[in-house]
């Protein structure tokens, strides 16, 4: 991987610049003006914030997290339909939902498996929720094969039976993927047609781009409203994100 020009100094400078923008955009201009008799401009504020960050670098990780959250939310808001529109039948819940929960997942991911019960519980409790699953096979060839069969299952209206059956068989292997497909009626011809047409590659490529746009670095990644949650965050965090989305 090529290194960034400027090394760590360049990265730090870029981070500070981003944080300064976040602070100023968050209302620091007004606070500065109040504290200086109404006098102040952006250049003065930038100098103060820049100096503070250099003197207190311990605040940078938290500031970086806030900056990334804001950028991820903007990425979702700018392309919401792409995130929330499912591939064929890879969704569940209310057609007229007021909130959509999107999960980028990998059948080989233990954290995704752990999250399945939380998502199922939310669907059972919340009749105005829609869940969209997006295939993001990042853990190797078995993951990609499982995803291709899953897309074929979604096209055939068999996504949920396949999803539940394959997870029930454990980490995917050639044998378990074939068994899950056979058990729910997804044929090799269905999968081959999807792969040969380029539809599977297009969908997986799109999902990769969408996940990268919200700084996804592993599965699961959840998108709820303009909020992005990384990892197996649990039932309470997902429920709170759904409630926050309803209030926004």
Domain final residue pick, 60, 79, 98? 79
Let me know if residue 189 belongs to a domain: yes
CA 241 from centre of chain: 13
Rg (CA), the chain: 22
Question: What is the predicted pLDDT for the residue at 63?
Answer: 61
Judge whether 2 lies within some domain: no
Q: What end-to-end distance do the CA atoms of the chain give, in Å?
A: 40
58 and 102 share one domain? no
Last residue of a domain, one of 63, 79, 95: 79
User: Which residues of the chain form beta strands (DSSP E)?
Assistant: 91-93, 99-105, 129-135, 221-224, 227-230
Domain with 87 in it: what CATH number?
3.40.30.10
Please report where in the chains the tokens 């105005």 appear, as a residue. Answer: 128
Domain containing residue 192:
81-247
In the listed set 30, 46, 79, which residue is the last one of a domain according to the structure? 79
**Which tens digit of pLDDT belongs to each residue from 111-149?**
999 999 999 999 999 999 999 999 999 999 999 999 999
Is 1 within a domain? no
Residue 56: pLDDT band (50, 70, 90) is: low
Which candidate, 138, 205, 147, places its Cα nearest to that of 181? 147
Q: Quick one: pLDDT band at residue 248, thresholds 50, 70, 90?
A: confident
Q: Tokens for 23?
A: 């602070």
Contact 107, 143 (CB under 8 A): yes
Considering its fold, how many domains does the chain have in total?
A: 2
Q: Are residues 121 and 230 in the same domain?
A: yes
Do 163 and 239 fall within a single domain? yes
| pLDDT band at 17; cut points 50, 70, 90 | low
């Amino acid at each position: 991987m090529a290194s960034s020009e400027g090394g760590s100094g360049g990265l730090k400078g870029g981070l500070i610049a981003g944080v300064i923008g976040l602070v100023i955009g968050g209302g620091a201009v007004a606070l500065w003006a109040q504290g200086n008799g109404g006098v102040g401009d952006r250049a003065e504020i930038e100098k103060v914030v820049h100096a503070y960050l250099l003197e207190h670098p311990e605040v940078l990780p938290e500031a970086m997290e806030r900056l990334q959250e804001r950028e991820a939310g903007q990425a979702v808001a700018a392309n919401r339909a792409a995130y929330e529109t499912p591939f064929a039948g890879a969704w569940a819940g209310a057609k007229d939902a007021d909130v959509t929960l999107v999960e980028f997942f990998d059948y080989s991911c233990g954290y995704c498996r752990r999250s399945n019960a939380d998502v199922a519980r939310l669907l059972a409790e919340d009749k105005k929720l829609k869940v969209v699953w997006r295939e993001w096979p990042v853990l190797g060839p078995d993951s990609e094969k499982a995803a291709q069969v899953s897309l074929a299952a979604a096209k055939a209206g068999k996504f949920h039976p396949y999803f539940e059956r394959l997870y029930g068989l454990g980490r995917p292997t050639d044998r378990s993927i074939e068994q899950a497909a056979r058990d729910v009626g997804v044929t090799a011809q269905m999968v081959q047609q999807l792969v040969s047409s380029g539809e599977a590659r297009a969908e997986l490529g799109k999902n990769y781009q969408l996940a990268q746009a919200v700084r996804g670095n592993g599965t699961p990644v959840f998108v709820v409203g303009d909020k992005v949650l990384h990892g197996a965050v649990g039932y309470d965090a997902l429920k709170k994100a759904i409630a926050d989305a309803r209030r926004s």
